[in-house]
Amino acid sequence: VIHAAHAVSRISSRNARVRIPRSQVHTVTFRASVLQSASMLLASSRLLPAVTTDRLARSLPTRAVRRMAARASAAAPKKVVIVGGVAGGASCAARLRRLSEDVEITLFERGPYVSFANCGLPYAVSEVIAEESKLLVASAAKFKSWFNVEVKEATEITTINREQKTVTAKNLSTGEEKQVPYDVLVLSPGAAALKPPIPGIHLPGLFTMKTIPDMRAVKAWIKEKKAKKAVVVGGGFIGLEMVENLHHMGLDCKVVEMLPQVRPGKDSQCLQRTSL
């Protein structure tokens, strides 16, 4: 008895070979024409507790492999719902499609854009990146044509019913709500920019830098008010990139960081050598 759940699989153009731990020295070879992809092989390994084989045999009969593949396909998830469509959610959708051609994938994003380069936002403020389209890694239309993923932008998931395996999706443009069934639910909603509860936090002229609309608001304020000075709270990557680009625009900038150094995840000696 070879426990396939402990096997490590590798697919090649000619066959798929399952490697067994050293304590179990038997090798089982599958014809690649029977298993359509490496993902099906992995699925069958997870679903079947064990594979029986003759000690002297080096391969399973084609009929047995087909039965394994059929069981894996029948038990595999048919509908996957992903909540959140920026870095994590979009990457998850693309990876799922590479693993399976059959699964139905729907991605919901509350904002107006999916899969955008948020580290490029400060450079769009200063127009070093002149076109907003260059911030978009992939649009909803491209996700559909490239990966056959249904993308619902400006749509918020408001409730989850785990017993019935459904989510409530609300279209933020029309207010329409509908129930969407799922077999697997992936939550990748991201996070909101931190706004500390301090006096004056709601005064005009205070902005966060997290999304494309945030970038537009900062850019419009600088042009409208002809701003000359700026304070950036937070010395992480985005904060320092904002300082770089505001300085490029001619603004006098100050950085406020709670910790003893900027870029808190960076070694202090490295920062001294790079003059940061």
Candidates 92, 119, 253, 270; catalytic one: 119
Q: For residue 88, which phi and psi values (nearest 5 degrees)?
A: -65, -50
Q: Which residues contact 58 (CB under 8 A, 6 or more apart)?
A: 27, 28, 29
Give exposure, 59-84, as e/b (b: 16+ Cβ within 10 Å): ebeeeebeebbeebbeebeeebbbbb
In contact, 233 and 226? CB cutoff 8 Å:
no
- The half-sphere exposure of 1 on its side-chain side, counting CA atoms within 13 A, is 5
Q: Cα(142)–Cα(262) distance, rounded to whole angstroms?
A: 38
Q: Cα(214)–Cα(122) distance, rounded to whole angstroms?
A: 10
Q: Which residues contact 41 (CB under 8 A, 6 or more apart)?
A: 9, 11, 16, 18, 30, 35
Query: Catalytic site residue 119?
Result: yes
Rg (CA), the chain: 26
CA 268, 192, 213, 189 torsion: positive or negative? positive
Q: Cα(228)–Cα(250) distance, rounded to whole angstroms?
A: 7
Question: How, if at all, do strands 229-233 and 177-181 pair?
Answer: unpaired
Any idea which residues carry the catalytic annotation? 119
